[in-house]
Every structure is written in C-alpha cells, then in structure tokens.
Amino acid sequence: MGGSAAVYQAVHRNGSEVALKVLHPELAAVEQTRRRFLAEARAANLVRHDGVVVVRDDGEDSDGSMFLVMDLLSGETLSSRLVREGPLPVRDVIEWGIAILDILAAAHERRVVHRDVKPSNIFLTDRGVVKLLDFGVARILDDAGALPTAAGVALGTPAFMSPEQAAGASEEVAPATDVWGCGATLFQLLTGRAVHSTEPGGAQITSAATMAAPPVGAFCLNLPAAVGRVIDRSLSFRVADRWPSATSMRQALLQARDAIDLAQAESHDFTTLSEEGVAVLGSPNKSGLLRMPALIGLGFVLAVCALLVASLFPVPAKTSDVSQLRSEEPPNPIFAAPRIADAKTVELSAAVPPSAPAPVSAQQKPPVAVAPRDATPRRLRVDTSLAELPVAPPAPPMAEPATNVDVLDKRK
C-alpha cells in the first residue's frame, strides 16, 4: 500500500501472474492526479533498463478506478529490510548503490528524473536483483506534453528531497536531484536514520531546504572514509558541488569498493580501514589482538602437559632379537650369551663347550650355532641377571673363569 495507490497480486486475462497497481478512489477523482498516474507508465517504459519494472497495460475500470498492470516481483524493499535488521552491512549497501546509480544513469540518458529515490522504492528480488519502483512523480525533461509542476510545490518524500526540490524550485530539478536522493538513501541504509533527523512533515522539508547534510561518517563509525566521501559529496547543498552525474558517482563508488577489496586482500583483515581505505590490523573492539595472547598461552599449556606425560609414562625401549645382540668384543670362551638388561630365559642352540675353544677370527661368528629346522634345540636357562654382575677383565686362556651363572641343562 503506497501513498497514492495500492498494489495487488492478480492474474491477467492472458493467464500470467501480474502486479496490479490501483489508484486510490479519492485521488482518481482529481484529473491532474489521474494524468500523473498514467504518466508513470510512459516514464517507466521509456527507461528501458532491467532495473525498472515494465508496465504491461493501463486502463480504467467501470467504477472509475485507474490501474496499471506490471510485472510481478518476489522479494522485499530495502526499507522493509532496514526495519527488520537495522543499519545494513557496508558492502551490501555499496553494491546496492552501484546498481541504483546504474538505473538512474539509464533514466537520465532518456531525460527522465525520478524525483523520489528512497529505500521504499528500491526493491530487492529473491535473486538479489535491484529494481527501482514508482515513477509516479518522475519528470520527463524537455517534454512538451508533460504535466507541469506548479512553482513552490514540492513533489517527493521530505526525508529524501534535495535542497532545490524541498524549496519548490521545480525548474532546478535535474539529474543532480536524483544524485542527492541516492546519497540520502545510502545514508539511511548505513545509519538507520534520515539525513535531517527532525520532526516529519513541514519541519523536515524546511531542514532539507535550508541546512547542509551532516557527514555520514559521524553516524557510521566503521565506514571506510573513501565510501563516506562519495556519499558526502552526493549530499552537497549546492548542485555544483555534487557529483555531476549518476555515472560519475557510480564510478567513484566502484573505485572505493575496489580500494576496499585491495586493502582486504593485502591485510587479510576485513574489519577496519584507515582514512585512505587501507586496512588496519585489528578491529574497533580489538578482538583479534585479544585472541592472540590466549592462543599463545594455550600452546604453552599444551607443551607443558606433553612434557609431563612423557616424564610420567616413558616409552619402553624395544628389545632386539637375540641374533642381533652380538657383541663386538671376543666371545666368552665359557659362555657366549648376549648381554641383556634383565633376567630372562634365553634359548641357545648349542651346548657350552667343556674347554676353551680355539681362537676365532674377527670375521667368524660367535660360537652360537643355529640348529636345523628338523632338530630339537637344546635350551639353556639363565636365571640370574647379568646386569647385576660386575664386568671382570678377560681371564687367562687356561684359567677357569669365575661366574655365578647357573646353567641348567635340560637334556636330562
């Protein structure tokens, strides 16, 4: 439901679903309003841009109701999203602003000035496509058949009127008027408030006609300065100080977006930007800096815990095979058993010789023979730990070495 008309979902006589815009009955009785309502269809179709809803048909019902038949859209207006979510993300607002300015550039090229750019007239479809609605108060420049606007009459919405529009200077309404309206729209989407936050109605029109707009950065502290400068210039009080066209403002907004992307790619921090659009590490609440000591402390605690576990539960050494435990020293002539750390039973495949064997060369293996697979090995049991015995110097060749090793021959 709009200020001058209501929109319904309907089915056209050709079977397609359409949007039916019907002028309020009390306004349909005014001839000037009826003419302006029908002029909306001509202005909208004149733009020829995908961001403008096409008017398929128009007419008058038997009871005098005026209607327009338009394409049916699925989505929501930006004003509805603003009410639901509050100030919207900077990146989204930048993208929407670029799309709005592209539509306005196409309209201005066709000599059409919208005169009522605001969040409630910007529709975002379910697919993310931006549409500019309601050309009801649009002005077609240099159109001899256009309905003139009386001097001193302000057409549009007070919160989004440019200074010349609010002053009723209809002869000064030009593309720069839509540039101001687009800037006011971006201002509200970012801050959640109107440019001139005063009482609605006459006081707001007076403020728009007499007061300069405040900087958007004063109400959106995290706004990159490059974006703020684009919006602030669009809201300049004097027409000559604004962007000369929607195309130039769009180009400036694109450059600001690219600067943000470049800064983010270089810093890998998408939170805070300096005045020149260069990213600064950290964020206003310094959450990144606060997390760093916590991560360092956690790493230190984990390292200490790992050391404690290693000291309390040492990993036992892997016991090698008997065949690999060969000493490089000459074998004991009495008993060629390997040196092992703890008492255990060792299987040997040869009997202890009764006397000292002949000297062996360095290449000869120690006197431990491997029994054939089909022979039953003779087992010797070593019950006493060799690790507890002192290592004695080599005994004379013919002397009987002292030992406390109890050898049990299991051949019995």
State the DSSP string of 220-236: -TTS-HHHHHHHHHHT-
- Out of 36, 91, 110, 115, the active site residue is 115
User: Which amino acid is it at 331?
Assistant: P
**Are β-strands 130-132 and 75-77 bridged in parallel, bridged antiparallel, or unpaired?**
unpaired
DSSP structure class, residue 385: -
Q: Which H/E stretch holds residue 294?
A: helix 287-312
- The candidate with the shortest Cα–Cα distance to 129, out of 109, 102, 111, is 102
> In angstroms, rounded to a whole number, what is the distance separating the alpha carbons of residues 179 and 248?
10
Q: How many other C-beta atoms can be found within 10 angstroms of the C-beta atom of residue 32?
A: 11
In 284-410, DSSP assigns E strands to 380-382, 407-409
Contact by Cβ (8 Å): 379, 348: yes
Contact by Cβ (8 Å): 7, 21: yes
Q: Which H/E stretch holds residue 56?
A: strand 55-60
Cβ burial, residue 394 (10 Å; 0-12/13-18/19+):
exposed
> Measured at the alpha carbon of residue 309, what is the angle toward residues 304 and 312, in degrees to the nearest 5?
125
User: Which amino acid is it at 234?
Assistant: S
263: left (phi over 0), alpha (psi -120 to 50) or beta: alpha
User: Which amino acid is it at 149?
Assistant: T
For the chain, how big is the Rg over CA atoms in Å?
46
Cβ burial, residue 176 (10 Å; 0-12/13-18/19+):
buried
Is 115 among the residues known to form the active site? Answer: yes
**What residues are annotated to the active site?**
115
